[in-house]
């Protein structure tokens, strides 16, 4: 059904039911970028004097984030982590490199095969567990390392509202208070950890997809082959079904958690003691960090 853009009355197919908002392509882009800026301001994610490292996988969320941050005037470079997954990783790196040229910004590339010594599928065989159970740990490790090496003050990731609510639902159903206490869109710098932010935490997956398509961003459409059947995807599907029936459920679930539950959970917990890994010197809660332990098992 065609509606009229609330700004210029042009006919448009873009309608956001949870915001009761119809916008043409041009005004959608302006709305999306200003909402991103409002989120950045609300959570004090970054300022114009920060040096930002955007974690870019080659997917629609991370490339859209890089695009929006550069357009908003931030000093934002990219970091791509090549996981060594046949075909998927090659295509992801290619699209990311092409996009870096388009925005005219520096791109750092980490090859897990070189930097860690094994690819994700190889580590999975050695560890005898699914790639998703350790991939995030490796990615966070290298993001943090490269941010510090390059003098970046903030690491930005493209996590969107669908990602955040899926994890929130999973952690709530399991009452995993340890994870809930860390589920905030800004994690401050300290103990050898770089500041981490999620400027798209209030944007749905559909909204970032619209933005990417409208702005001609050439992203990898296929999901990582290991994502198939993952728990998060199941939760995302369920939440999207609820959202269809009751528009606004996702944003309410997330925003109300941040406003009401997060302060209570956070305030009731002591901050974990972070030390330095005896092998690599990176932050960890034990004597040897998870990545070095995996390295030992893989050697």
- Contact call for residue 91 and Zn ion (CB under 5 A): no
Q: Which is nearer to Zn ion, 123 or 292 (CB)?
A: 292
Between 5 and 156, CB nearer to Zn ion: 5
Q: Note whether 8 binds Zn ion by CB under 5 A.
A: yes
Residue 214 backbone class (left: φ over 0; alpha: ψ -120 to 50; beta: rest): alpha
CB 239 within 8 A of CB 162: yes
Q: Which residues of 160-182 are buried (b: 16+ CB within 10 A; e: fewer)?
A: bbbbbbbbbbebbeeeebeebbe
Counting contacts by CB under 6 A, is residue 136 touching ligand SF4?
A: yes
Candidate ranges 96-104, 183-191, 220-228, 243-251; the one touching ligand SF4 (CB under 6 A) = 220-228
Interacting partner of 126 out of Zn ion, ligand SF4, none (Cβ under 5 to 8 A depending on kind): none
Residue list 218-277, contact with Zn ion (CB under 5 A):
277
With contacts defined by CB under 6 A, name the span among 27-35, 162-170, 222-230, 235-243 that binds ligand SF4.
222-230
Asked if residue 135 binds ligand SF4 (CB under 6 A), the reply is: yes
144 C-beta neighbours (distance < 10 Å), count: 19
* Sign (positive or negative) of CA dihedral 221, 55, 181, 161: negative
Cα 52–Cα 213–Cα 42 angle in degrees, nearest 5: 40
Binding to ligand SF4 by residue 132, rule CB under 6 A?
Answer: yes
Residue 285 · residue 275 · CB < 8 Å: yes
Binding site for Zn ion (CB under 5 A): 5, 7-8, 10, 24, 27, 277, 279-280, 289, 292
């Amino acid at each position: 059904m065609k509606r009229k853009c609330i700004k210029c009355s042009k006919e448009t197919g873009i309608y956001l039911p949870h915001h009761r908002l119809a916008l043409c392509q041009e005004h959608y882009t302006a709305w999306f970028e200003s909402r991103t800026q409002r989120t950045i301001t609300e959570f004090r994610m970054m300022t114009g004097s920060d040096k930002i490292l955007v974690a870019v996988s080659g997917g629609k969320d991370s490339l859209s984030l890089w695009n929006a941050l550069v357009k908003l005037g931030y000093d934002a470079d990219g970091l791509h982590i090549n996981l060594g997954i046949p075909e998927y990783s090659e295509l992801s790196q290619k699209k990311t490199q092409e996009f870096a040229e388009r925005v005219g910004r520096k791109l750092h590339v980490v090859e897990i095969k070189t930097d860690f010594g094994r690819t994700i599928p190889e580590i999975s065989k050695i560890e005898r567990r699914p790639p998703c159970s350790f991939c995030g740990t490796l990615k966070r490790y290298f993001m943090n390392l490269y941010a510090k090496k390059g003098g970046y003050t903030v690491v930005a990731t493209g996590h969107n509202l669908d990602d955040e609510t899926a994890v929130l639902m999973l952690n709530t159903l399991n009452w995993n208070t340890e994870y809930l206490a860390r589920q905030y869109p800004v994690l401050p710098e300290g103990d050898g950890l770089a500041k981490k932010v999620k400027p798209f935490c209030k944007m749905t997956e559909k909204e970032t997809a619209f933005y990417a398509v409208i702005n001609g961003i050439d992203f990898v459409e296929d999901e990582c082959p290991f994502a198939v059947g993952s728990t998060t995807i199941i939760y995302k599907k369920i939440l999207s079904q609820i959202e269809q029936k009751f528009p606004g459920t996702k944003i309410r679930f997330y925003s109300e958690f941040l406003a009401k539950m997060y302060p209570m959970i956070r305030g009731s917990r002591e901050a974990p003691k972070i030390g330095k890994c005896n092998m690599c010197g990176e932050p960890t809660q034990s004597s040897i960090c998870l990545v070095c332990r995996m390295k030992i098992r893989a050697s």
